[in-house]
Amino acid sequence: MNDQLKTDPSKPAQRMRAGSMTLTLGPWIVAAIALLVMPYIFTSNSALTIMNQMWITVVFALAYNMLLGQGGMLSFGHAVYMGLGGFFCMHLMNYIEDFGLAFPLPLLPLFGGLFGMGFAMIIGSFSTSGAGTRFAMISLGVGELIAACSVIIVAFFGGEEGISGDRTYGLPFFGVEFLKQIEVYYLISFWLMLSAVLMYLFSRTPVGRMANAVRDNPERAQFLGYSARWVRFYSFCASGFFCGIAGGLFAISYEILTEENLNATSSGVILLVTFLGGVGFFFGPIIGAIAFTLLQTVLSLQTELWAIYVGGLFLATVMFFPGGLAGLMMMHVPALRLGKAGGLVMPYIKTLIPGAIGVLGVCALIEMTFHFRHAAKGDHEMTLFWTTFDSHTVMPWLIAGIVAAVGLGVARATAPAMKEAWDEANTAGGAS
């Protein structure tokens, strides 16, 4: 067992960081190019809208993971910091409109960030003295409090209809007025890139490193000269700053903020997104945000029940892959290093494809049940997987049931072989 763990200090390429990955410049350049060319690949307006939403969620999720993954603080009310930053930006936008201020719109998220950080400083001053249940409960309480305030302090939150504005009244920025969606896309992409780089660099600073130490073992950190509380406080403020930036981007993109941006549901979603992507790696929340936004937007066009599937996926992640999607990917690094990843392809195909087909069979059963119970009376026809059939006959149920049973059965039968292949691929030496 120890042989495969031993690393050779003379070969930097073999080094693996626990908990976080050392990213070199490469991935950043790839990411920047991807951000630049995406609108040329997905040109439709709806695709742009989806990408805008995705990148805003990425900023938010990365900021959230500064607490959850890096600092070990579970917050249940983090939408507050993004929401407040967004509300503040909406007000700024309206001031610009009302008083004709010469203010370039691209700078707006910075002020959202500062506002988010300011609020985080107030809350953090008393919530960061512990990381456990106390912190989680305070975050939940503050979240509820602010969400409740949104209908009470109407001047700031705009009551039930929220605050809306118009981004195009700012000072034209080098001739750009942000009338077009594509201009907003590049504005968001710029801030995404900047925020992601800054958040990554933060994790490499002394206080960022100590955040990991405090997460792992607050008491030991105290005996290294660091107050666990102050380390948490700095992480909390930094997280609040980047949440505020996400809020500012949201304000620019949607031109409206409501109570929905502050409430517990939004806080829950970001927790789900981050966990789905994987809290243990810096890039985890990025994957989570992309996957979740795609599920939310694309899947919701296909089925009303999309939330059930997302919930199921989340549960499966928590139970079987606590490292999230990023953890799942990084699990394969040792096999790749040993040059044995190829041996995993066939076992994966044999197990995962039947498994996926089986899951689709289960989904079909769920959809049919839903249609059977909730479709208008007399409407027996439904379309599923490009097939139209009568949901009140036995045949479709039989087929879906058999597909589900056989698919899952085959997956179950081949799972031990996959496990064996996995162990083999992760053991040094032997036939490769």
Where along the sequence are the contacts to another protein (CB under 8 A)?
Answer: 5-7, 9, 14-19, 201-202, 204-210, 212-213, 215-217, 219-228, 230-231, 234, 238
Given the complex with another protein, which of 4 and 383 has the nearer CB atom? 4
Measured in whole angstroms, how far is the alpha carbon of residue 394 from the centre of its chain? 41
Rounded to a whole number of angstroms, the minimum distance from the CB of residue 281 to another protein is: 12
Rounded to a whole number of angstroms, the minimum distance from the CB of residue 339 to another protein is: 20
Rounded to a whole number of angstroms, the minimum distance from the CB of residue 68 to another protein is: 14
Write the single-letter amino acid at 41. Answer: I
Rounded to a whole number of angstroms, the minimum distance from the CB of residue 327 to another protein is: 13
Given the complex with another protein, which of 228 and 290 has the nearer CB atom? 228
Given the complex with another protein, which of 154 and 331 has the nearer CB atom? 331
Given the complex with another protein, which of 223 and 320 has the nearer CB atom? 223
Given the complex with another protein, which of 235 and 266 has the nearer CB atom? 235
Given the complex with another protein, which of 120 and 238 has the nearer CB atom? 238
Given the complex with another protein, which of 229 and 380 has the nearer CB atom? 229
204-236 burial, b if ≥16 CB within 10 A, otherwise e? eeebbebbbebbeebeebeeeebebbebbbbbb
Rounded to a whole number of angstroms, the minimum distance from the CB of residue 228 to another protein is: 8
The alpha-carbon radius of gyration of the chain (Å, integer) is: 24
Rounded to a whole number of angstroms, the minimum distance from the CB of residue 328 to another protein is: 18
Rounded to a whole number of angstroms, the minimum distance from the CB of residue 74 to another protein is: 16
